[in-house]
Structure 1
Amino acid sequence: MGTTKTQIFTAEQNQLATILKVLANPARIAILQHISCQKDCICNDIVEEIGLAQPTISQHLKELKSIDLIEGEISGKRVCYCINQKKWVEIQAIINDFFNKTNVNCC
């Protein structure tokens, strides 16, 4: 399998693909839904709620942080996670823009 030639695509296409790649995991969707309903949320809370191992949850959190969709604030030995509201709105606009600008004039 060959590597993706990202340089032949626009910055917008690459950005959208990266966002969708991070979001294309049901565990990450569940984590986002859980975090969005909490005032503050630590990794162990997410582990208990989702039912995956702590290292697995940590890896998913890392992926969500890679696109700045979540933020972590250190509180003692814990990191409290929350949705990055500014990035949430930005990603929503990027996805909406893609669907609004893509024509469906086929077949």
Structure 2
Amino acid sequence: MNALDTTFAALSHEARRAILARLADGETRLSDLAGPFAMSQTAVSKHVRVLSDAGLVTVEQRGRSRYCRLNAAPMKQAAEWLSDYEAFWGQQFDNLARYLAENGD
């Protein structure tokens, strides 16, 4: 469960989710990653560090540049964990629909 905790903690910040969305389009230099965000390069680097520590991003040094690449495997594990509750919520909505059909106006 510790890996899930780390994944969800990393995904809890809006900027980190936006960084992952940008990396879903492909590998990007860390210096280019900061462009669309209203934050400093240092702040983006800190968010990338959290994502890297969670295993969601791989950072590779090439020459003077660091390149970031998405690793979606931890998100797949989180999605699988969440899918265990899909049947529960489906049943809850079915029960609500049945109740409303039986007791509606």
Shift of 1:96: 2.6
Equivalenced residue count is 90
- The TM-score, its normalising length taken from structure 2, stands at 0.72
Give identity over the alignment, percent.
20
Q: Which residue of 1 aligns with 2:82?
A: 99
Q: Does 1:18 align with 2:6?
A: yes
- Give the structure 2 partner of residue 61 of structure 1: 48
The two structures, once aligned, show a CA RMSD in angstroms of 2.0
Please state whether the residue corresponding to 1:49 is helix, strand or coil. Answer: coil
Q: Does 1:45 align with 2:9?
A: no
Structure 2, gaps ≥5 residues long: 97-105
Q: What stretches of structure 1 move > 6 A for 4+ residues in a row? A: none
Gaps of 5+ in 1: 1-11
Question: Comparing both chains, which one has the higher relative contact order based on Cα–Cα distances under 8 Å and sequence gaps of 6 or more?
Answer: 2
What is the TM-score with the length of structure 1 in the denominator?
0.71
